[in-house]
């Protein structure tokens, strides 16, 4: 397939894998990857090499706002025709940074908040202070309102952990009171090869408790007119995933990995965009072999995917490592 024939619907580019938090469930807290920032020069190189792409998520395994050129990256991606969004822990957000992102044309901002309980927050997301984060988010939401920006989706992403799931109704209530657009509860991606004890803790989720809190949250959302997106909990393969054919993840140092849930190039990577053309990597032997096994439903790399299987507690074999 030639570059002109490739049409990506979504791509994730990592502005940095530095972070000012050490969230217990986050893979970057447990891995030993080299730490660094994507330079503006390298970001431009990536944009130049990419085929037509609809949506860019400017985020990876780190806090995007730590990259000082973030708003310039947003602007450049918007100029090349992409819709652009990112997730942030919001600890570094303030009126001035929000205004720069708005002016650059950002389309989606997701704030990561799992609980409004400061003690629990510190236990699960050690680092930045919750009261500061909430203040930063409120300033940002108000600024959107003040500037009358219509084309900007503001949402909260909650990770469905056993220790914090009871907080979901409060988070939904808070998000609705700020007139956010949506709250997304997402499954834990617990496929850690870094710290097996995390998997064990995540496996403790009590399903009736989960159902109870999501039902309360759903009622609040309906009453207040907020969109609440809940994950599926079946253990059967229940959705179609487009990543192998429609997008990929690119790390700050240029490695192309399968998707946002398989972002660690030390586990699996298809190539490096600073060393080869995108088309070459997209059509190489590793990608072709992978797509074949994916189509048959035997791709080991996807065997524990919480998006594909919609289940936080599904277990299977550990994916193989490759060192391409």
Q: Which stretch binds ligand SAM (CB under 6 A): 57-65, 96-104, 126-134, 228-236?
A: 57-65
Q: Residue 295 CB, nearest distance to ligand SF4 (Å)? A: 32
Q: Residue 125 CB, nearest distance to ligand SAM (Å)? A: 8
DSSP 8-state class, residue 299? -
Query: From the list 8, 11, 13, 21, which residue makes contact with ligand SF4 (rule: CB under 6 A)?
Result: 21
Q: Using CB under 6 A as the criterion, what x/- string covers residues 134-173 for binding ligand SAM? A: -----------------------x-x--------------
Q: Decide: 120 and 93 in contact? Cβ < 8 Å.
A: no
Query: From the list 1, 9, 22, 146, which residue makes contact with ligand SF4 (rule: CB under 6 A)?
Result: 22
* Partner that binds at residue 189, options ligand SAM, ligand SF4, none, CB closer than 5 to 8 Å by kind: ligand SAM
* Partner that binds at residue 159, options ligand SAM, ligand SF4, none, CB closer than 5 to 8 Å by kind: ligand SAM
Between residue 17 and residue 56, which ones bind ligand SAM under the rule CB under 6 A?
A: 19, 23, 25-26
Q: Decide: 70 and 113 in contact? Cβ < 8 Å.
A: no
Residue closer to ligand SAM, measured from CB, 94 or 283: 94
Q: Residue 296 CB, nearest distance to ligand SAM (Å)? A: 26
Q: How many CA atoms lie within 13 A of 210 on its CB side?
A: 21
What backbone phi and psi angles, to 5 degrees, belong to 70? -55, -45
Rule CB under 6 A: is residue 263 a binding residue for ligand SF4? no
Distance (Å, rounded) from C-alpha 138 to C-alpha 118? 17
Specify the 3-state DSSP secondary structure of 55: strand
Distance (Å, rounded) from C-alpha 246 to C-alpha 51? 11
Q: Which stretch binds ligand SF4 (CB under 6 A): 20-28, 164-172, 244-252, 315-323?
A: 20-28
How far does CA 31 lie from the centroid of its chain?
A: 17
Residue 71: both structure tokens together: 């708003």
Angle 207-224/168-177 helices, nearest 10 degrees? 10
**Residue 234, CA distances (Å) to 126, 198, 217, 231, 238 in order:** 31, 21, 20, 9, 8
Query: From the list 16, 83, 89, 251, which residue makes contact with ligand SF4 (rule: CB under 6 A)?
Result: 89
Query: From the list 16, 17, 53, 59, which residue makes contact with ligand SAM (rule: CB under 6 A)?
Result: 59
């Amino acid at each position: 397939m030639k570059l002109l024939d490739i049409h990506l619907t979504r791509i994730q580019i990592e502005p940095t894998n530095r972070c000012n938090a050490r969230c217990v469930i986050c893979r970057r807290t447990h891995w030993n990857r080299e730490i660094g920032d994507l330079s503006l020069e390298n970001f431009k190189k990536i944009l130049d090499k990419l085929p037509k792409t609809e949506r860019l998520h400017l985020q990876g395994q780190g806090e995007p706002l730590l990259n000082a050129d973030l708003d310039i990256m947003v602007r450049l991606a918007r100029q090349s025709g992409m819709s652009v969004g990112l997730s942030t822990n919001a600890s570094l957000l303030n009126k001035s940074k929000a205004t720069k992102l708005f002016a650059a044309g950002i389309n989606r901002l997701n704030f990561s908040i799992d609980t409004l309980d400061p003690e629990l927050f510190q236990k699960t997301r050690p680092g930045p202070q919750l009261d500061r984060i909430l203040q930063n988010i409120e300033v940002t939401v108000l600024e959107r309102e003040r500037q009358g920006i219509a084309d900007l989706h503001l949402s909260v992403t909650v990770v469905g952990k056993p220790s914090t799931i009871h907080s979901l109704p409060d988070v939904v209530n808070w998000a609705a009171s700020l007139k956010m657009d949506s709250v997304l509860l997402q499954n834990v991606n617990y496929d850690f090869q870094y710290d097996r004890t995390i998997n064990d803790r995540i496996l403790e989720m009590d399903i009736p408790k989960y159902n109870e809190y999501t039902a309360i949250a759903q009622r609040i959302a309906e009453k207040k007119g907020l969109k609440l997106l809940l994950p599926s909990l079946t253990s059967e393969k229940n959705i179609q995933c487009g990543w192998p054919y429609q997008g990929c993840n690119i790390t700050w140092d240029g490695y192309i990995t399968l998707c946002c849930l398989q972002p660690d190039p030390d586990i699996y990577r298809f190539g490096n965009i600073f060393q080869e053309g995108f088309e070459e990597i997209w059509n190489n032997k590793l990608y072709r072999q992978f797509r074949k096994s994916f189509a048959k439903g035997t791709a080991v790399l996807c065997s524990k995917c919480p998006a594909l299987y919609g289940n936080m507690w599904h277990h299977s074999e550990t994916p193989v490592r490759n060192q391409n």
